[in-house]
Amino acid sequence: MKNLRAVVLALAVVLSLSGLTGLSPASAAKFTAGKVGAALKTTTLRTNEMTLTGSKIQCATAIFTGQTEALESSSQKAVPQYSNCTAFGMSGATINSSGCVYNFTASGEVHIESCTSGGFTVASSTAFGKCKMFVKNQSIPNAVTYTNTVGKVDVDVIAEGIHVEVTESTGICPVKLGTHTTGKTSIKVEVAAEGTTIQWDA
């Protein structure tokens, strides 16, 4: 009996050391910051582009503002602002993102939240036609990848399946009225936290 107990005990020790007694829970992806409340600063690394039924919206400048919310967090919010845009071949396009917040999760989702009008609008107009579309609050899975640089994070957004409602289309506007579920967007920015560091941990 003593020999049996010794064998069982030895086997338990071996299994424990080898990690076979049970699977430890995988560590959840997270953002880590050097301090709470540090202002976020972004640098555009790739021109923002959205495609809808083959037609493009491009913005040379995209700024995300916000602040670090915790020393460790599964998500990070940022307020988007776009400028120097063209849409559907028309210059001087405007993007109204009033109240909108992008909620980036460390696991790769992005949520469009809190828009004052329930979404943000894109409008472009010339003497030859007008386009207007509405991108509603929504969640987009598998949309973001992160790469750490020294004290900063590169945020690479390549999102597909975005729901877009075209509310006005006249003249040379190339997109049809109605709801589309094939919107795509691409943007890459470098995010830094003023006076401290911000990183992503898988």
Dump pLDDT digits (tens) for 91-120: 889 999 999 999 999 999 999 999 998 999
- Mean pLDDT (the chain) is 87
Query: Which residue, 169, 145, 168, 131, is CA-closest to 50?
Result: 131
CA dist., res. 123 & res. 125, Å (int)? 7
Encode pLDDT of 120-159 as tens digits. Answer: 999 999 889 999 999 999 999 999 999 999 999 999 999 9
Query: Which residue, 191, 176, 171, 184, is CA-closest to 48?
Result: 184
Confidence of residue 67 (pLDDT cuts 50, 70, 90): very high
pLDDT at 62: 85
What's the 3-state SS for 43-71?
EEEEEEEEEECCEEEEEEEEEEECECCCC
pLDDT at 25: 47
* Sequence ranges of the domains in the chain: 29-201
pLDDT at residue 3 greater than cutoff 80: no
